Chains A and B, each alone.
Chain A
Amino acid sequence: AQKVTQAQTEISVVEKEDVTLDCVYETRDTTYYLFWYKQPPSGELVFLIRRNSFDEQNEISGRYSWNFQKSTSSFNFTITASQVVDSAVYFCALVPPYNNNDMRFGAGTRLTVKP
């Protein structure tokens, strides 16, 4: 079974704080892809990052960083020095190898950054 768990339903931080959003996944496939998307109030899902199961290198993009650990089936997302514009719902998603468009999303974490 393919499953993504985002245990944090809502997180509230004050601007400039660092925040980590957790993502734990389950899959029996050895090849898979993991994604993070941001969903602002407008509704569209904005692509943030894609990782394949063979690439465990952590990645940093500006204030965003991702920690992929296959040993714990986790793909956590950290925002450094958060800003009010980071307020949104963030989704982690898993894609099986047999249908790249069948994305399995977690329930999402609503992040609120207060000024």
Chain B
Amino acid sequence: DAGVTQSPTHLIKTRGQHVTLRCSPISGHKSVSWYQQVLGQGPQFIFQYYEKEERGRGNFPDRFSARQFPNYSSELNVNALLLGDSALYLCASSLRQGFTGNSPLHFGNGTRLTVT
């Protein structure tokens, strides 16, 4: 089975532009979460979507938004890009809204965004 897939793998944008990142969860997984990982730091929680509804939001400005589609794939949108938005953006999927048993989050390889 395919793991969590993210596209694109790398992206270069200019300050003020908008970016859309995409994520396809593992087949059968209904929950998708987004994390931002700035160089040298641990990932930080941005959003969680389950059954196409936002179920959690981290401490990020309104420039960050996301949505989940009927096929459970997801997009992360960032408007008015700042230099500080340069990071690795990780998508993770899980079977349910919360993990139970041995169902941890499964992470993709991420999209590396560079803002110049």
Contacts and interface: CB of A to CB of B under 8 A. Distances in A.
A37 B110 CA distance: 15
Contact of B107 (A45, A104, A107): A45
Tier of interface size on chain B: 20 to 34
A26 interface: no
Interface size class of A (residues with CB under 8 A): 20 to 34
B114 to A, nearest CB: 14
B104 to A, nearest CB: 5
Most B Cβ at <10 Å: residue of A42, A43, A104, A105: A43
A68 interface: no
A32 B59 CA distance: 20
A107 B108 CA distance: 19
Nearest to B9: A43
Contact of B94 (A35, A101, A105): A101
Interface string A29-68: 0000001010000111111001000000000000000000
Contact of B90 (A45, A93, A102, A104): A45
Find the residue from A45, A47, A50, A108 having the highest chain B CB count within 10 A: A45
B56 A101 contact: yes
A101 B90 contact: no
28 contacts: A42-B109, A43-B109, A44-B108, A45-B92, A46-B107, A47-B104, A50-B102, A50-B104, A91-B43, A99-B55, A99-B56, A100-B94, A100-B99, A101-B33, A101-B45, A101-B48, A101-B56, A101-B92, A101-B97, A101-B99, A102-B45, A103-B45, A103-B105, A107-B40, A107-B41, A107-B42, A108-B41, A108-B42
